[in-house]
Amino acid sequence: MADASYPDDLKYHPEHDWVRLSDDGTATFGITWFAQEALGELVFFDPPEVGKRVSKDEPYAEVESVKAVSDVIAPLSGEIVEVNGGLGDAPETINDDPYEKGWMVKVRLSDVQEVDALMDAAAYQEILT
């Protein structure tokens, strides 16, 4: 498992999700280092379908560790345009590399202003302490 890290170029949601914003109006979602550490080794990722709409603060996918299942909460609203298919066979990628290879979905954002409600890395780390 990787060491704790919270990259500065990401935005964060209090339910332990991260967002990487692109210039083309899309964003990539994933879960933070804290989230994967709390869940433990992930053994199953149940992906949503491309084309499905997600709403900020609502669940859009499920991850399971050996012991428990958890919803993954959407940090922003929009339409899913791509799903990380590699996680189906190797959900542990989320533990190994939560911010790069462990990304979950790419979403075309419906309301870019929602980004203002997210936290930067420093503010997110504040809520972890």
Partner 1 sequence: MLGSGPVLAASSETLKRTPLHDRHAAAGAKLVPFAGWEMPVQYASIREEHRAVRSDVGIFDVSHMGEIETSGPGAEAFLQRILSNDVTKIARDGAQYSVLTREDGGVLDDLFTYKLGDDRFLTVTNAANHVKDLAWFERHSDGFDVTLRDRLHELGMIAVQGPRARALVQELTPEGELPARMRTAHLTVAGAPGTLVAGTGYTGEEGVELLVAAEHAGSVWDALTARGAKPVGLAARDTLRLEVCFHLYGNDLSEERGPIEAGLGWCCKEETAFVGAEAVAEARRAGHAEKLVAFVIDGPGIARQGNPVMGGGEVTSGTLSPSLEVGIGMAYVPQDHVEPGTRMEIDVRGKVRSAVVKSKPLYSKETA
- Smallest gap, in angstroms, from Cβ of residue 24 to partner 1? 26
Q: How do strand 105-109 and strand 59-65 relate by DSSP bridges?
A: unpaired
- Smallest gap, in angstroms, from Cβ of residue 67 to partner 1? 5
Residue (of 26, 8, 22) closest to 83 by Cα position: 26
Of 25 and 50, which CB lies nearer to partner 1 in the complex structure? 50
Residues lying near partner 1 in the complex (CB under 8 A): 15-17, 31-32, 35, 38-41, 43-44, 46, 59, 62, 64-73, 88
Of 67 and 113, which CB lies nearer to partner 1 in the complex structure? 67
Q: How far apart are CA 43 and CA 64, in angstroms?
A: 6
Of 25 and 39, which CB lies nearer to partner 1 in the complex structure? 39
Of 85 and 113, which CB lies nearer to partner 1 in the complex structure? 85
Cα distances (angstroms) measured from residue 26 to each of 72, 91, 105: 18, 23, 10
Q: How far apart are CA 74 and CA 6, in angstroms?
A: 18
